[in-house]
Each structure stands twice: as C-alpha cells, then as structure tokens.
C-alpha cells in the first residue's frame, strides 16, 4: 500500500512539474463546463414561448412530456454535454498514462525501479491511479460547477431535474471514473510495449477512439442512453476494468520490458 | 554470498553469459573484468533478479534466483550501468522515493546520512537533472545503499568520472569494504580492480580465470627479478642459467632478467652465484607485470 502511494506521489511530482500537462488535464473539463452553461444562459426565458411542433420528434421523445419544446431542446443539448462529461475521463489520462512506462524506459529509470522489491501490481496500481485520478477529479469538479450554475440559472424545477437526471449522475460519477481506469490501463499496456513515447500516445489514441464512437452513436440517435443502458454500461465497464487490470499485470513481463529496449 | 552454477543467458542469437560457475565470499570485493559486450551487465542483472537466466542456477544472499526474487531485490543493492535518476525531481526526493520502496525504517535519516557521506547534502534541493555526471553517479551510489545491503553490485562505478571523482568513489568502496560488505564490482579499469579487489574474475561470455590480482600476475608470467649489474655479460647469464630453479634468463642492456618461482628463497642464491662469477650487483628489484598485461593476454586468447 505504501509503495503504491510512493509511486503515485512520485508520478504526480514529475508530471505536474510540467505546466502543460496540468493545462491539458484542466482545460477540457473547464471547456465542457462552460459550454453547457453558456447554452443554458443564452436560451434562458425562451422556453415558454417556443411551440413544441417546431422541435423534431426525435428530441421531444427524449425528455419528460411536461416540459415545453424549448426546454426539451435545452435538455437535449445539455445531455450531449453530459455525455462529454462521461467521456472526458477516457481521454484525459492518455497523455499521462501513455508516457508513464515508456518514459521511464527512455530515461533509464526503469531498471533501478524494477530492482527494488516493488511488485508489478503495486507499480501498475500506483501508475494507473496517478494517471486516472486527475482526469476524474477535474471532470467531477467541472460537473459540480455545471450543476451549481444550472441550479442558479434554471427556474423551472422540472427542467433542472431533467438536466441533473440520475442517469447523468451515474454516468458522470460512476461510468466516467470506470472509463478513466479502462483507458488508463489500456494506455499503460501500450506504454509497456513500445519504445517511443510518441508512438505510445499515438497507439493509445487509436485504442481510445472507438470508445468515443459511442458518443457519436448517441448524437446520431443510434444508441439511446437511458438509465438502464448507463447502469449496464457501468457494470460492463467494471468487469472490463477488472479484466484489464488482471491482464495488465500478467503481460507486464519485467524482463521483456527491460531488455526489449536495447 | 553469491554462488552460481552453469549460469547461462541467451538473447535470441547472442550467448551473453555461458556456463558461469562463480563463488563470491562474504566480505570480499570481487572484481568482474571483461571487455565491452562481455556480459557483465547481463550477469549483474541475473544476480539481482532483474532478468531470468536461460539455464543454470544462482543463489544470492541465500536466496534462489527465479524463486525468491523479491527477497533478493530486498536484500541487495545495485548501482545500474546508467544512473537513471528522475531528472526533474530533487536529489533528496529521488532518494526518498527509493528509501520508501526499499522499506527503510527511517527514510529521512538514511537519506541525510548518505547525502552527507557523498558530499551532496548542500545540493539536496537541486534537481537531479542539473547534476554533473559524477554527482549523478554519487547520487546513484547513495540510492544503492539506503537500505544498508550487505551485498552490493556496482556496475562500472567510475566510468566517465574525472580522476578526482573516481578516487572519491574508490575510497568510498574501500570504506564499504571495511564495514564488511560484499561488493561485486564490474569494471574496465584494471588499475582500479588491482587496487580494490580481493579477487578478480576475467570474463568474456565465459569465465576465463579467477584469482587474486597478485596470483593472476605470477600465474601468467611467473615472477621476474631484475639484477642491475655494472657490466652484464653472456658468461654471467650462463652461470645463472646453470642454477636448477632459474626458469628463464635474459640480458637487456646491463640488466639480467631472471624468472623465478620463489624469489624470496632464490634471490640470495642468484646473487651469490653472480658475485662468485665476478659480477658487481648494483640493485635488485622485482619486475611487476601490470594487471593490464595479464588482462590483455587473457582476453586476446579467449
Ligand atoms: N536486451 C538485450 N537484447 C539482446 N542482446 C543483448 C541485450 N542485452 C545485452 N545483449 C547482448 O549481450 C552481450 C553482453 O552485453 P552486456 O551489456 O552484458 O555486456 P557488458 O559486459 O556489460 O558490456 P559493457 O562493458 O559495454 O557494459 C552483448 O553482446 C549484447 O549485445
Ligand atoms: Mg555493462
């Protein structure tokens, strides 16, 4: 446990010395907090005047029928940003995780590290927590800011309830972090196999992109994310995380990682 | 402390270490000498459980390589070929990380002890990346010692250091030896090996010889004694050749070069013989072969 903590702190000390990394971690959540708030702000008050028949069926079917068409539009637009909130933890850890092992190969610090009595599990646990937590925390902070902003701006309690629906709380609070770990573990596995940090980031992105497809699926209405779907998704992600963690430790062959390098 | 039997490591096509049988005793400084690519680093990596042997066995600190790897890692110290510091973290923090990973009881005190001992205390807040090569090397030595290992592997500790820094490191190794630690020292520096090591193994994929530096010299070249004469003559050489124990006698300028097995016993007889034959003996001295001669001879033949 202590060793996991040691690795975690060391990773953060190293990573956040680089201000750009801090920026990468904070930028996306801030952006995606600001945009839905701007939408809510600009559409404020238009809700009652709007006639429902102007809004496509696809969108009105999306929200509770006691909301006006304009409010439905707001719910629809904002939900897409909720999805972004859920997906963000998938992308944010990539920079840190992809670099994390291959970076130590290039600086040659991996050998003395592997010579210590640290177990592979402890090493990977420390590294994945270090990569996943900043993205998760930044996203959650962004979401809380959004929720507070929405509560201040939206006067109709039904609209607010629709905006902060339980499914989004589960999506952002549970599915998001689980995605962060899935993405982190995938990137760590890539990072352990390659010999060049740039390649690690490239390949990691290629692995992550299909998952982002889920988001665009939702946008074009192929997949409807209701509460059940999100719960199933979360359960699936939890299982996937467990499997990934198991494999990450299994395929982390200390010797191969150390000597393939030469 | 270290015992290996037929230890072998193959990398795809290269046989890096072949059938190594080695025994290193507790408290000795064992020099592991060999040319570039001889397999020294590979051997150290096997003995520190970083890579697995292809064949053969090794017991380190009483633990078996391949079976009790964590115990081995816990109990040995290693100075890797490249220091591999976290360059953007401070020297002190670098060591703190390792003190914690090695489960040191009082990390702060240990870190301070070794930073002071290696003269880095005043620079402890500086990033390791800002250190010179020699300072990084010293920092890496400190890192290897934090958990007070009884057995220490040093892979070329003075490579690339200036004479002063090398001397400091050598003196430090001397200190460690006095504390009774066992040291496995890989080096190219023959002079260093000669001065520091109790025994030396010359290695090039396989072990060529193992012995004390002094014995290595005599084994290969015998011991040569130089007799400086006022005037050397072939007749004098003949007289000495007549002695049953004289192995080889040569004249170089006014010097008589005699190879003997036990000069302590035989020199007086040689001198008596020379004096009887009418020679004026001015000086007598032993001609010491440098370890370099020995090494080059061995590696050339391998
Ligand atoms: N990871 C690896 N993959 C393939 N071959 C390797 C690997 N590591 C070492 N070798 C080969 O094994 C042999 C021994 O290498 P090693 O690094 O152990 O030599 P060394 O004695 O430490 O040399 P030097 O004095 O240059 O440090 C070399 O032929 C080298 O090419
Ligand atoms: Mg080497």
Q: Which of residues 169-198 of A touch B (CB under 8 A)?
A: none
Q: Is the Cβ pair A13, B93 closer than 8 Å? A: yes
Q: Which of residues 27-66 of B touch A (CB under 8 A)?
A: 45, 48-52
A111 CB contacts (<8 Å, ≥6 apart)? A258, B50, B80, B82, B84
Assess contact for A237 and A182: CB atoms under 8 A.
Answer: yes
Q: How many CA atoms lie within 13 A of B250 on its CB side?
A: 8
Q: What is the mean pLDDT of residues A176-182?
A: 91
Q: Is the CB of A259 under 6 A from ligand 1?
A: yes
pTM for the model stands at 0.84
Q: Is the CB of B160 under 6 A from ligand 1?
A: no
In angstroms, what separates the C-alpha of B174 from chain A's closest C-alpha? 23
Q: How far apart are CA A84 and CA A218, in angstroms?
A: 11
Q: Is A125 on the interface with B (CB under 8 A)?
A: no
Q: What is the mean pLDDT of residues A99-106?
A: 92
Among the bound ligands, the one closest to the CA of B203 = 1
**Least trusted range by pLDDT, from A7-11, B15-19, B51-55, B286-290:** B286-290
Give 3-state DSSP helix, strand, coil % of chain B, rounded to 5.
40, 30, 30
Helix B263-276 with B234-241: angle, nearest 10 deg: 130
Cβ burial of B117 (10 Å; 0-12, 13-18, 19+) is middle
Two tokens, residue A219: 């946008």
Domain that holds residue A183: 2-261
Instruction: Count the residues in chain A.
Output: 262
Q: How far apart are CA B28 and CA B212, in angstroms?
A: 11
Among the bound ligands, the one closest to the CA of A105 = 1
- B203 phi and psi, to 5 degrees? -135, 135
Indicate which of B14, B73, B100 best probes the interface with A, i.e. most A CBs within 10 Å of its own CB.
Answer: B100
Q: Is the Cβ pair A111, B70 closer than 8 Å? A: no
Q: What is the mean pLDDT of residues B47-64?
A: 95
Q: pLDDT band at A146, cuts 50/70/90?
A: confident
Residue B293 has pLDDT above 80, yes or no: no
Q: In chain B, what are the domain boundaries?
A: 2-211, 221-294
Residue A219 has pLDDT above 60, yes or no: no
Say which DSSP state A43 is in: T
CA of B36 to the centre of ligand 1 (A): 8
Q: Considering only the top CATH level, what class is B221-294?
A: alpha beta
Q: How many CA atoms lie within 13 A of A102 on its CB side?
A: 24
Give the closest residue to A176 by CA, choosing from A63, A36, A82. A82
Q: How far apart are CA A41 and CA A37, in angstroms?
A: 6
Indicate which of B97, B111, B126, B145 best probes the interface with A, i.e. most A CBs within 10 Å of its own CB.
Answer: B97
Over residues B216-258, the pLDDT tens digits come to: 777 766 778 899 998 888 888 899 999 998 888 888 888 888 9
Q: Is the Cβ pair B102, A116 closer than 8 Å? A: yes
Q: Which of B15, B33, B38 for mutating ligand 1's site (highest number of atoms within 8 Å of CB)?
A: B38
CA of B206 to the centre of ligand 1 (A): 13
Over residues A152-162, the pLDDT tens digits come to: 887 777 778 77
- How many pairs of residues across A and B have Cβ atoms under 8 Å apart? 71
Q: How far apart are CA A62 and CA B279, in angstroms?
A: 119
Assess contact for A156 and A35: CB atoms under 8 A.
Answer: no
Q: Is the Cβ pair B86, A112 closer than 8 Å? A: no
Residue B39 has pLDDT above 60, yes or no: yes
- The residue whose C-alpha atom lies closest to atom 17 belonging to ligand 1 is B41
Beta bridge partners of B229: B281
State the pLDDT at residue A124: 95
State the pLDDT at residue A95: 85
**B2-211 belongs to CATH 3.30.70.100:** no
């Amino acid at each position: 446990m202590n060793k996991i903590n040691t690795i975690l702190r060391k990773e953060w000390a190293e990573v956040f010395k680089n201000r750009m990394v801090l920026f990468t971690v904070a930028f996306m959540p801030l952006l995606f907090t600001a945009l839905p708030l701007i939408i809510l702000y600009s559409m404020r008050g238009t809700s009652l005047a709007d006639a429902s028949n102007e809004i496509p069926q696809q969108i009105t079917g999306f929200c509770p029928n006691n909301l006006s068409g304009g409010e439905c539009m707001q719910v629809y637009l904002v939900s897409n940003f909720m999805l972004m909130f859920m997906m963000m933890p998938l992308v944010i850890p990539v920079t840190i995780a992809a670099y994390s092992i291959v970076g130590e190969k290039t600086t040659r610090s991996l050998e003395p590290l592997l010579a210590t009595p640290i177990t592979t599990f402890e090493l990977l646990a420390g590294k994945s927590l270090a990569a996943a937590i900043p993205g998760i925390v930044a996203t959650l902070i962004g979401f809380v800011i959004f929720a507070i902003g929405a509560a201040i701006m939206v006067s109709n309690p039904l609209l607010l309830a629709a905006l902060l629906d339980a499914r989004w709380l589960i999506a952002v609070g549970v599915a998001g972090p689980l995605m962060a770990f899935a993405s982190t573990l995938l990137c760590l596995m890539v990072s352990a196999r390659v010999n060049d940090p740039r390649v690690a980031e490239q390949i990691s992105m290629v692995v992550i992109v299909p998952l982002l497809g889920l988001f665009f699926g939702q946008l074009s209405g192929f997949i409807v994310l209701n509460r059940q779907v999100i719960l199933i998704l979360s359960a699936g992600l939890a299982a996937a995380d467990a499997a990934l963690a198991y494999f990450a430790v299994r395929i982390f062959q200390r010797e191969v990682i150390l000597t393939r390098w030469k | 402390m270290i015992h290996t039997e037929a230890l072998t490591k193959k990398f795809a096509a290269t046989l890096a270490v072949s059938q190594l049988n080695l025994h290193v005793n507790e408290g000795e400084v064992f020099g592991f000498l060999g040319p570039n690519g001889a397999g020294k680093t590979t051997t150290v990596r096997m003995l520190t459980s970083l890579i697995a042997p292809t064949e053969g066995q090794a017991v380190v600190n009483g633990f078996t390589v391949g079976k009790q790897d964590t115990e081995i890692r816990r109990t040995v110290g290693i100075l890797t070929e490249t220091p591999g510091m976290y360059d953007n973290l401070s020297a002190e923090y670098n060591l703190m990380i390792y003190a914690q990973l090695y489960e040191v009881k009082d990390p702060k005190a240990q870190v301070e002890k070794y930073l002071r001992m290696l003269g880095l205390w005043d620079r402890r807040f500086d990033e390791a990346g800002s250190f010179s090569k020699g300072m990084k090397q010293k920092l890496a030595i400190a890192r290897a010692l934090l958990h007070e290992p009884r057995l220490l592997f040093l892979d070329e500790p003075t490579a690339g250091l200036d004479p002063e820094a090398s001397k400091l490191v050598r003196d430090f190794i001397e200190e460690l030896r006095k504390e009774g630690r066992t040291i496995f020292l890989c080096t190219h520096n023959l002079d260093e090996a000669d001065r520091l090591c109790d025994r030396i193994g010359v290695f090039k994929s396989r072990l060529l010889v193992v012995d004390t530096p002094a014995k290595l010299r005599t084994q290969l070249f015998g011991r040569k004694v130089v007799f400086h004469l006022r005037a050397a003559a072939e007749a004098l050489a003949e007289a000495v050749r007549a002695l049953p124990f004289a192995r080889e006698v040569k004249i170089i300028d006014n010097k008589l070069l005699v190879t003997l097995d036990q000069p302590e016993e035989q020199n007086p007889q040689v001198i008596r013989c020379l004096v009887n034959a009418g020679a004026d003996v001015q000086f007598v001295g032993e001609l010491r072969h440098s370890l370099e001669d020995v090494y080059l001879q061995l590696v050339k033949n391998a």
